[in-house]
């Protein structure tokens, strides 16, 4: 099957007598058994479900769907992007190990690594991943993992995934990529040899801003461990949220196609605007498009607060990837936990606005931003 077909046909066949067209929600905490032999079948691997924390048809569908689109052997869903990242990391790293991560990480991932992982005794170095030498210099004897994002936030640097895989092979390390901004519609890191790929399904996988979820995918060996972490740490996703994630996932191709087109149109329009100092939008992320996030730096004379007030129907939110166009102030939200020194080194400034482009008519989107840019 090709991408679009796989995108809508990933769910498991139903065993219900009624053969409902949509998958029912298995809103249950556990599964019952005819007898003890039947229960033993679960532990022998011949039956899929025992207890929802360990596995549930709706949650498993979400992991499976994303795994298929990413070209991975196995996937698992969890309660959030952050818990999916944690599960993936704990599948490869333990106390005493060291991780090398890109310094332009999503703020929440930075906190997870700089605070929580260090408290667990897992050390993390944050370095400039745009230079091969700085990555190699940061590798130590106890390094086990290289971690990056396929398209970074908010500066939208496109990671050189092949180079990371090459470095990892040279030093016998695992690689993990957060593919939230690109989605498998644009970039499939597993195909380049990446070991684990993670998503905040809260974003494009869900796509409708009504869900908090995460997914991690990879080889069966690593994923068995990652799924075990989700169960053992209790960061499983609920059945309804799994169902909602699958429902969102089915339209990923359509949404991404429109959103990437709209984003390219907006980036082009804003790059000519006199009140915009700089537009950040990748040019060669993939042949299908360059993502649906556009970051701009307002002109030095602009009143940033006034700009945010004048956005009419465009909502100011601390998230991205919904079907509606929205904006974020990275310094005030996603990058608030990142130390000021790192922020200014990266070039994340107060006048920066991250735009998540939706599925509206592209002319309306451009007009909304022109109005806010004029109001100053
Ligand atoms: C939002 C986000 C996360 C965290 O996901 P949650 O679902 O909020 O836990 C991780 N990485 C990236 C790139 C994100 O945008």
Looking from the CA of residue 180, the nearest atom of ligand 1 is 13
Distance set, CA 49 to CA 40, 54, 60, 246, 311 (Å)? 12, 8, 10, 19, 48
CA of 199 to the centre of ligand 1 (A): 7
d(CA 310, CA 320): 19
CA of 341 to the centre of ligand 1 (A): 22
Ligand 1: residue whose CA is nearest its atom 6: 81
- State whether the beta carbon of 202 lies less than 6 angstroms from ligand 1: yes
- State whether the beta carbon of 206 lies less than 6 angstroms from ligand 1: no
76-114 pLDDT, tens digit per residue, is 999 999 999 999 999 999 999 999 999 989 889 999 999
Buried-state track 55-80, b at ≥16 Cβ within 10 A, e below 16: bbbbbbbbbbbbbbbbbbebbbbbbb
Q: What is the pTM of this model?
A: 0.95
Ligand 1: residue whose CA is nearest its atom 1: 200
Closest CA to 363 of 238, 231, 265: 265
d(CA 56, CA 49): 6
- State whether the beta carbon of 179 lies less than 6 angstroms from ligand 1: no
Looking from the CA of residue 214, the nearest atom of ligand 1 is 7
Q: Are strands 293-298 and 352-356 parallel, antiparallel or unpaired?
A: antiparallel
- State whether the beta carbon of 149 lies less than 6 angstroms from ligand 1: yes
What is the set of domains in the chain, with CATH numbers?
A: 3-249 (3.40.640.10), 252-375 (3.90.1150.10)
What pLDDT score does 14 carry?
58
What pLDDT score does 16 carry?
66
**Which regions of the chain are under pLDDT 50?**
none
What pLDDT score does 332 carry?
87
CA of 223 to the centre of ligand 1 (A): 20
CA of 269 to the centre of ligand 1 (A): 28
What pLDDT score does 185 carry?
97
Looking from the CA of residue 319, the nearest atom of ligand 1 is 1
- State whether the beta carbon of 328 lies less than 6 angstroms from ligand 1: no
What pLDDT score does 268 carry?
97
CA of 136 to the centre of ligand 1 (A): 27
Which H or E element spans position 98? Answer: strand 98-102
């Amino acid at each position: 099957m090709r991408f679009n077909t796989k995108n809508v046909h990933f769910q498991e066949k139903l065993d219900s007598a009624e053969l409902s067209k949509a998958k029912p929600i298995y809103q249950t905490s556990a599964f019952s058994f005819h007898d003890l032999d039947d229960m033993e079948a679960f532990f022998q691997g011949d039956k899929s479900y025992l207890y929802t924390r360990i596995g549930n048809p709706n949650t498993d569908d979400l992991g499976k769907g994303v795994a298929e689109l990413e070209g991975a052997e196995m996937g698992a869903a969890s309660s959030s992007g952050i818990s999916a990242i944690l599960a993936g990391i704990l599948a490869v790293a333990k106390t005493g190990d060291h991780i090398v991560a890109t310094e332009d990480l999503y703020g929440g991932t930075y906190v997870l690594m700089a605070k929580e992982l260090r408290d667990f005794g897992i050390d993390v170095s944050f370095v400039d991943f745009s230079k091969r030498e700085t990555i190699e210099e940061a590798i130590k004897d106890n390094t086990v993992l290289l971690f990056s994002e396929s398209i970074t936030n908010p500066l939208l640097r496109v990671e050189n995934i092949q180079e990371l895989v090459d470095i990892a092979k040279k030093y016998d390390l695992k690689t993990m990529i957060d593919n939230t901004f690109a989605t498998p519609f644009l970039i499939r890191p597993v195909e380049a040899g990446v070991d684990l790929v993670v998503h905040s399904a809260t974003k494009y996988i869900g796509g409708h801003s009504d869900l908090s979820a995460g997914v991690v995918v990879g080889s069966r060996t690593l994923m068995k461990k990652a799924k075990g972490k989700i169960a053992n740490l209790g960061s499983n996703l609920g059945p309804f949220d799994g169902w909602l994630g699958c429902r969102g996932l089915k339209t990923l191709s359509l949404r991404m196609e429109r959103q990437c087109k709209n984003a390219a149109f907006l980036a082009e329009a804003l790059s000519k605007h006199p009140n915009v100092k700089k537009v950040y939008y990748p040019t060669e992320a993939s042949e299908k498009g360059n993502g649906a996030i556009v970051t701009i730096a307002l002109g030095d004379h602009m009143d940033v607060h006034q700009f945010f007030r004048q956005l009419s129907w465009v909502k100011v939110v601390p998230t991205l990837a919904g079907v509606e166009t929205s904006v974020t102030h990275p310094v005030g939200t996603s990058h608030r936990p990142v130390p000021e020194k790192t922020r200014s080194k990266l070039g994340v400034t107060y006048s920066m606005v991250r735009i998540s482009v939706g599925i509206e008519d592209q002319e309306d989107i451009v007009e909304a931003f022109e109005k806010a840019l004029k109001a100053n």
